[in-house]
Every structure is written in C-alpha cells, then in structure tokens.
Amino acid sequence: MFDWGPILLAVSILIGGVAGAAILTWWERRLLGFWQDRHGPNRLGPWGIGQVAADMIKLLLKDDWVPPFADRMVFIFAPTAIVVAMMMGFAVVPFAPGMQIIDVNIGLLFFLGMTSLAVYSVLLGGLASNNKYALLGGLRSASQMVSYEVFMGLSLMGVVMMSGSFSLVDIVAAQREVWFCFSQILGLLVFVVAGIAESHRLPFDLPEAEHELTAGFHTEYGGMKFAMFMLGEYLGLMLISCMIVTLFFGGWMGPVLIGDWLPPLAWFGIKVCFVINFFVLLRAAIPRPRYDQLMSLGWKVMLPITLVNLVITGAILLWFEEAI
Amino acid sequence: MLEIILFYLASGVALAATILAMTRANAIHALIYLIVSLLAVAVIFFLVGAPFAAALEIVIYAGAIMVLFVFVIMMLNLGEKGDARERQWLQPRIWSGPAVLSLVLLCELLYLISSIEGSASAGTVTAKTVGIALFGPYVIAVELASMLLLAGLVGSFHLGRRTLERGS
C-alpha cells in the first residue's frame, strides 16, 4: 500500500504556505499599524481582511513585463528560485509527531542548504535586471546572506551537540525536559538575527533599502514576478519561525509547566504565530542599520558569540560525560 | 530498481548540465548550469548512501562557493564584451587539443574503474562516521586545511586593507 500521508502533507503545505503568506501581508500591516499608532488596511471587509484579495487581484492582473535590456532567461528564473527553495525547506519541518514529509538524518543540513540556495534568487534577480540599483542590491544581498549563513550554521551546532543528531525529530525529542531556548540562549540570539538577515526583512532589508536603492534587487520586477519575491520572503519568514520553534522552543511539545492538554499541531501553530508576531514587532521597533554596521555586527559580534557558545557547550557536555 | 532509475536520471542531468555549462558564452548562464550540475551530484551522493556529503555539496558548493562566483561576475559586469570573447574561445581549434587528451585519460579511467571488483554501495555514511574519520585518522589533513584557510584569510585581509588605504 502506497503511503499517501507525505503527499497529502506536501500539498497542504503548498496551499497553506501560499495562503499563509497572503494573509501575513495583511496581518503584518495591521500589526505594524497597531504598534506605530495608525490604522493600516482597515477598509475592505471586516478588519480590512479583504485587502488580501484586493492585493492578489492587483498582482495577478498586472502586465507581466520583462524589460528589453534584461537577461530574459535569468530574469524569469530568479523569482521562482526563492519560492522553490523555501517550499523545499518545509519538507523537513516536523509539525507534529509523524507529521513530517521526510525524516532524514541530515534534516538540519537540508534546511541550511535550502536557505543558502534561496540567495540565488536575490542575486540573479539583481544581476539580470541590468540596472545599477538592482545590481547594488544583489551585491549587498550576496555578501549579507553568505556572511550570515556562517553564523546561522554555527549557532545551530550547539543544538546539534546537545541532541547528538541532525535529525529534527531527534532534536525535538531531546527537548522533552528543557527547551533549548534556555540552555542555548546565545545560539537562539544569533539564530534569530541571522534568520532575519537570511530572509532579508526589515531591519536587515539592505538589499532592497528603498531610501537609497529605490527597491534594490526587485526594482525592475512587477506583477506576478514581484509577487513571487514577496511570497518567497514570507515563506522564508514562516520557515525561519518554524525552525526556531523546532530547534529552540520544543517543537510540538507543550510547555513543561502547563502540560500537553492541546494537540501537538496546535502547540506548534501557537508557537509559530508567536514567533512571527515577534518578527513583526522587531520590524516595527528597530530602524534599519547602515550596510557596514550590518556587516561588522555580523563578523565582530555574532561570530565571537557563536564561537564562545560552542566552546561553552562543548566544555559542559564533556564535563558531564566525565561525571557519568 | 527505483534507485537505479533515479541514479541514471541524476547522472544524466549532471552530465547535460555540465556540458551546457561549458558551452554557454554567457558566464551567468554557464554558472546556473554548473549549480544545477552540483545539485545533481548531491542527489547522486544521497543515492549511494552519503547523505552528509550530499548536504555539504549543497551547503558549501552550491550555496557558498558558487554564490561567490556569481558575486565576482557581478562585480566585473563584463556584459556583451565578455560574451563575445567567450564565443571566440569556444571554437573547435581551441578546445579540440585538450579534449582529445582528456578523452585518452577518460578511457583509461573507465578501464580502471571497470577492472575494480566490489559493489558500489558500502552502507550509509552518516555525519558521525565522517566526523570520527576526520578527527581520528585524518586529523593532520584537517589541521593542514585549517592552516591553509587561515593563511588565505590573512592574505585576503591584507590585500583588501591595502586597496582601502590607497583609495582614501
């Protein structure tokens, strides 16, 4: 008997991801409005939820245009790369016990690989546009994302050391008693910052900083191709949130003090929503740094923190191994 | 059976992508094909039981080194001029000599591989096995590689600093 479970889950992730991204565009603007003491989209439908449909109709019906000076093949390929890579990343996320498309023993590395492939989208989009602002945005994104990938990978190694596995199911299982957000607080800190930089969202959206680069790498994009970039960005946000919950906040398990009185999927969903809202709050609260500040933050603060975290984690693990 | 089909599919993709990567005049198109080729090789690694190598192939080669290649091409931004020069280099009189010589080597390699006895699949190589091998029998190689990387880092820092000072 062929197992239809993973395929059903894959289809529901595909639909859920796109729908989630669409709703997030509205939810994010409402939250930003709330935190910045203004309204946000509130006219269409109850609480302005109709704005989602309006935006979608606008993006779908816009003229799908390729500039004549652009590199046509790469220009069309670039926006799809980020969506495909981010969607692939969801394949290893354990939403609930047994509710995962594939449980490979390199799950964490697979996620890192997919996020690093998403860089190409921004890079090639900026290059193919044949426009100086887009090119500058692409260059920035390349150095920003390659740099932050280093800390992103390193910050997770503490988690890997403590759970002894790259498999995300094992990592969740290893948090049965204490979530890694306590024991790996430095790793969590770096991973959150690197996660924002990887999904190039505000405050780290230097590749598309509109005050200096008009719109950065997607200056020349419009209509559905632009929508693909936005979809990729929101998918990246959701993927990073899912990974933070899985790696540091016990995945599908309820908090120890409160207990497991909700189904695992509900706990996972609640935590992911919480993390996404936190990311929106960061966007509302923190201004955009300068580009050199961003890079020196990475190499002069984040890298030492991760290395110290690795040394401490390794030392403590060895210490306790000796005691046993 | 399914694994064999997948293996040959991935190998075919890798070969086709590599050939396309060599014959494209546009550097960016060639690089995209090279990335596809690397991804196909990662699939092959996964199929023959080396998932860790497959993951590293994607994270390091496709995800980092190729990004730097694209980065350099963006910085140079040769455009049409570069394409024209590349097209000039793609003429048979330039590549036929090395091609014939490599063909001889390929035949030799195929003969050697076919003469080796034994199966291709030696079980799955996990991340743990790789780690133990790297920090056990091959620890000197790891140390040498890290020294080389450090030297490269110091060297590039030095070169970058000099241009900065000259610029200001």
CB nearest A113 (choices: B59, B68, B71): B59
Instruction: Say if residues A236 and A198 touch (Cβ distance below 8 Å).
Output: yes
CB nearest B74 (choices: A106, A110, A139): A139
pLDDT at B151 over 90: yes
Q: Which among B74, B75, B76, B135 is the top mutation candidate for probing chain A, defined by the most A β-carbons within 10 Å of its own β-carbon? A: B74
Instruction: Say if residues A306 and A183 touch (Cβ distance below 8 Å).
Output: no
The arithmetic mean of pLDDT across residues A244-260, rounded, is 78
Contact A116 B127 (CB under 8 A): no
pLDDT score of A233: 85
B64 CB neighbours in chain A (<8 A) are 116, 146, 149
The arithmetic mean of pLDDT across residues A80-84, rounded, is 87
Contact B58 A149 (CB under 8 A): no
CB nearest A142 (choices: B28, B55, B71): B71
pLDDT at B144 over 90: yes
Residue of A nearest to B26 (CA): A71
Percent of chain A with pLDDT over 70: 93
Helix intervals (H) in chain A: 5-35, 50-61, 72-89, 107-117, 119-128, 132-163, 168-173, 180-183, 185-198, 210-213, 223-248, 264-285, 291-296, 303-323
The arithmetic mean of pLDDT across residues A240-258, rounded, is 81
**Rounded to whole angstroms, how far apart are CA atoms A73 and A75?**
5
Task: Convert the pLDDT of each residue in B66-91 to its tens digit.
Answer: 888 888 887 777 667 777 777 777 77
pLDDT band at B104 (very low <50, low <70, confident <90, very high): very high
pLDDT score of B87: 77
Mutual angle of helices A50-61 and A5-35, in 10-degree steps: 110
pLDDT band at A10 (very low <50, low <70, confident <90, very high): confident
Instruction: Say if residues A82 and A132 touch (Cβ distance below 8 Å).
Output: no
pLDDT score of A287: 79
Residue of B nearest to A116 (CA): B63
Contact B73 A127 (CB under 8 A): yes
Residue with tokens 């993709």: B13
Query: What single letter denotes the amino acid at residue A81?
Result: A
- Judged by DSSP in three states, B67 sits in helix
pLDDT score of A206: 65
Instruction: Say if residues A216 and A134 touch (Cβ distance below 8 Å).
Output: yes
Contact B59 A153 (CB under 8 A): yes
Contact A113 B62 (CB under 8 A): yes
Contact B32 A74 (CB under 8 A): yes
Contact B35 A120 (CB under 8 A): yes
B63 CB neighbours in chain A (<8 A) are 112-113, 116-117, 119, 149
Contact B70 A73 (CB under 8 A): no
Residue of A nearest to B69 (CA): A142
The arithmetic mean of pLDDT across residues A216-239, rounded, is 81
Top-ranked range on mean pLDDT: pick from A55-64, A85-94, A99-108: A85-94
pTM for this model (two decimals): 0.85
Percent of chain B with pLDDT over 90: 18
Inter-chain contacts counted by CB atoms under 8 A, chains A and B: 80
CB nearest A105 (choices: B56, B74, B126): B126
Contact B74 A123 (CB under 8 A): yes
pLDDT score of B118: 61
Task: Convert the pLDDT of each residue in A292-303 to its tens digit.
Answer: 788 888 888 888
Average pLDDT, chain A: 81
CB nearest A127 (choices: B51, B68, B74): B74
Q: List A99's β-bridge partners, or say none.
A: A96
**Rounded to whole angstroms, how far apart are CA atoms A66 and A107?**
37
pLDDT score of A209: 63
pLDDT at B116 over 80: no
A104 CB neighbours in chain B (<8 A) are 51
pLDDT score of B105: 93
pLDDT band at B166 (very low <50, low <70, confident <90, very high): low
pLDDT score of A180: 78
pLDDT score of B149: 92
Task: Convert the pLDDT of each residue in A121-179 to its tens digit.
Answer: 888 887 777 777 777 877 887 778 888 888 888 888 888 888 888 888 888 888 877 77
Task: Convert the pLDDT of each residue in A31-66 to its tens digit.
Answer: 888 888 887 777 777 777 778 888 888 888 887 777
pLDDT score of B16: 92
* C-alpha pair distances (Å), A21 with each of A52, A87, A229, B47: 10, 12, 11, 34
pLDDT score of A148: 83
Any long-range contacts for A36-39 (C-beta under 8 Å, 24+ apart)? A36/A284
Contact B70 A127 (CB under 8 A): yes
Top-ranked range on mean pLDDT: pick from A52-61, A77-86, B99-108: B99-108
pLDDT at A207 over 70: no
CB nearest B63 (choices: A74, A113, A124): A113
The arithmetic mean of pLDDT across residues A178-192, rounded, is 82
pLDDT score of B163: 62
pLDDT score of A324: 52
The arithmetic mean of pLDDT across residues B148-154, rounded, is 93
The arithmetic mean of pLDDT across residues A203-208, rounded, is 68
pLDDT score of B6: 87
pLDDT score of B12: 92
The arithmetic mean of pLDDT across residues A276-293, rounded, is 82
ipTM, two decimals, is: 0.79
